[in-house]
Structure formats: C-alpha cells, structure tokens
Amino acid sequence: MKKFNIIIYKIIITLLLTTGSLNSAEMTDPIKVDWSFKGITGTFDRASLQRGFQVYKEVCSSCHSMQYLSYRNLGEPGGPEFTEAEVKAIAASFEVTDGPDNQGEMFTRPGRPSDMFVSPHPNKEAAAAANGGAYPPDMSVLVKARKGGANYIYSVLVGYEDPPPGVTLDDGVYYNKYMIGNKIKMPNNLMDGLVEYADGTESTVDQMAKDVTTFLAWAAEPELEERHKTGVKVIIYLVLLTILVYLSMKKIWSRIDSEV
C-alpha cells in the first residue's frame, strides 16, 4: 500500500511539473502599463475614457456586448463624463427593441439614456454562430474577469503576430503571443488610423488599445475613483486617530511615572 501511494505521489508531481512547463511555454507575461487609475490615488483619464468608448462603439460593439452598462452611465461622475446632450445623442444613435404595443407587437425606437447598451446579437447562440462558433464575451466586467486585468486585455490587443515556424493554425484562428495557447479566434481588428478621434489624437494601434482598455477598466469598476477617495479619507482618519491615541497614552503614562 505504501509503495502504491509513493507511485501515485510521483505521478501527481510529474503532472504538475508538466502542466507548469506547458503553461509557461504557451503564455507570455502581459505587458505592464503605468495606468493612471492604478494606485490608491489613481483616477481615470477622461479624454482616454471618451476615446475608449469611441473605439468600443466603432470597432468592438459589432461583436461584443456590454449588458451591465446603460447610456446614462456615460455621463455620470467618475466616468467618461459626456454632457447630457452628448449622452442623449449617443443613446439615440442606437435602435432599441421595445414593446409590446397596444396591438401586442414589438417595435423599435431610438435609444434613451436610461436604456442598457444595445447588444449586437439577440442571444449567445446567435453571437457564436456569427463568429465561427466562438462566443464573443460580454465586455462589461471583462477586465475584472481576466487574470492580469487591464494589462492582459491591452497585451492581447497588441499581441497579434505571424505564427513562428512549425506552428500551424486552423482557418479562422490567429496567433497571439499573450493568449493562453497562443491561439485566438478574434481577428486583429485594430490598425493605425482605423478610428478618427474626435479630439484629434493620432489613432495608432497602441493608442486605441490603451484607450479601449481604460474604458473597459472603468466599465468593470465605475466606482473606482469614489472608492479611492474614501480609502484616502479612511487612512487620514486612522493616522490622526493613531496620533491622538499615542498622545493620550503618553500623557496617562507620564502621570503614573510621576506618582511612582
């Protein structure tokens, strides 16, 4: 029995080592970016958020949904902070299915700020069928759902390369050095000059990848700035409380020393 346990133990160790070596061979560590929203005092770059939404709308929204966002969120504090008129115009640019009406029929209408982001597909099955069998994940909380967060999303967006010698890819599969297994079914949709930024910023692949990643980071954690502000206030309060407690204790012990 003891010999059997030793054999099983060796098999498990071998499998773990093999799995670790495969993972290390198939995935490159994400690029580390100095994001403005990182750190205890981090904040989102408003201009980058607005450009990021433009990239999502013009490039990503044809495949990826953002079901947890409404158009009015785009005008709320801590986010892209579009004006009320801009939010209304953005919402109205989408057709929303509504109803039923008095005749029991569904109908379409221009979007309103209170509407959730319109999905490009009616359901997951339709989305997968339209993308070669691969379901494009919802982007609402994608940054939080992926290990590596914003760095990983950005790295995948800029990580497309020609496959190295000896690597063959099936039709509709692309090589990406930051993807686990290095294979991805999403084509490289970013190219220099693809988007004409409203603020005149040059739309390089790197710039668009950073902007849309910033937008997705905000979408996944829209309360980030408020949480950071609260955290700073709590730290200041705790520091002041610690000083007051220290001074109080020092005064109390000084009296005891004098009595002795």
Angle at 161 between CA 160 and CA 163, to 5 degrees: 130
Single pTM value for the model: 0.81
Q: What does the alpha-carbon distance between residue 180 and residue 159 come to, in Å, rounded to a whole number?
A: 12
Angle at 64 between CA 178 and CA 176, to 5 degrees: 15
Give pLDDT tens digits for 171-198.
889 999 999 889 999 999 999 999 999 9
Give pLDDT tens digits for 131-141.
888 889 999 99
- pLDDT of 208 higher than 80: yes
* 100 upstream amide cis, omega within 30 of 0: yes
Position 98, amino acid: D
Q: Tokens representing 110?
A: 């221009």
Give pLDDT tens digits for 219-235.
999 998 888 777 777 88
Q: Is residue 52 within 8 Å of 216, Cβ to Cβ?
A: yes
CATH H-level superfamily of 2-69+116-222: Cytochrome c-like domain (1.10.760.10)
- pLDDT of 5 higher than 60: no
Question: Residue 160: phi, psi to the nearest 5?
Answer: -75, 135
